[in-house]
Amino acid sequence: MENVAKTIDHSLLRPELTLDEVRAGCALAARYDVASVCVRPCDVPEAAALLRGTGVLVGTVAGFPHGDATTATKVAEARRAVADGAAEIDMVLNIGRLRSGDLTTVEADIRAVVDAVDGATVKVILENAYLTDAEKVAGCEAAERAGAHYVKTSTGFAPGGATMEDLRLMRAAVSPKVKIKAAGGVRTLDILLAMAAVGVTRFGATATAAILDDLASRS
């Protein structure tokens, strides 16, 4: 139970969430002892205060969900988040520049955020629904060159989310030191376990309670 729980980033990113809903989500994350909550940037101070001492990390997003903010804006978002208590940053790479073949800009954008956060974990969201397989591979390779710790499939706000095919492709595209995060459609324990079997070590999920309750019922 603990091993599976510590692969989950409980997602609290929907724009309409109230403060009470964010607080309830943090309480759920603490109760199940997941890896982290991934909250909106404005919620980082609240989440950090609520989860201090629990062992549940606070993560947030930069350049979310479209990836088209300037590098300076992403850097400022990431620095502010770390100052507010975030330990992990899920940044969206510049999707349009990746599709244009401008890998120099894509890599520099990622590296600037990695360099700005002074050792915090950086996960790079590719948003695979908009990319060809070649672009997915190029994005993963750029993220590794830039020093990112994870490559991630999706924001959860695009037309498609994580697929087994994409996860296998991403795992093959980076070295073992770069980890894989699946997000978008991770709604059941069986899906999570199947993805873990191909090398995924972190999952963005809103169905955290259902997944872990199912696991408890099987043990």
Residues annotated catalytic, as ranges: 90, 152, 181
Beta bridge partners of 61: 90
Q: How far is CA 81 from CA 69, 97, 190, in A?
A: 16, 25, 33
Sequential DSSP letters for 50-117: HHTTSS-EEEEEESTTTS-S-HHHHHHHHHHHHHHT-SEEEEEP-HHHHHTT-HHHHHHHHHHHHHHT
DSSP state at residue 7: T
Task: Give yes or no for a contact between 125 and 152, defined as CB atoms under 8 angstroms apart.
Answer: yes
- Both tokens of 169, joined, read 């492709």
- Minimal CA–CA distance to 27: which of 16, 12, 41? 12
The CA-CA-CA angle for residues 91, 82, 66, to 5°, reads 20
E strand or H helix at 216, and its extent? helix 208-218
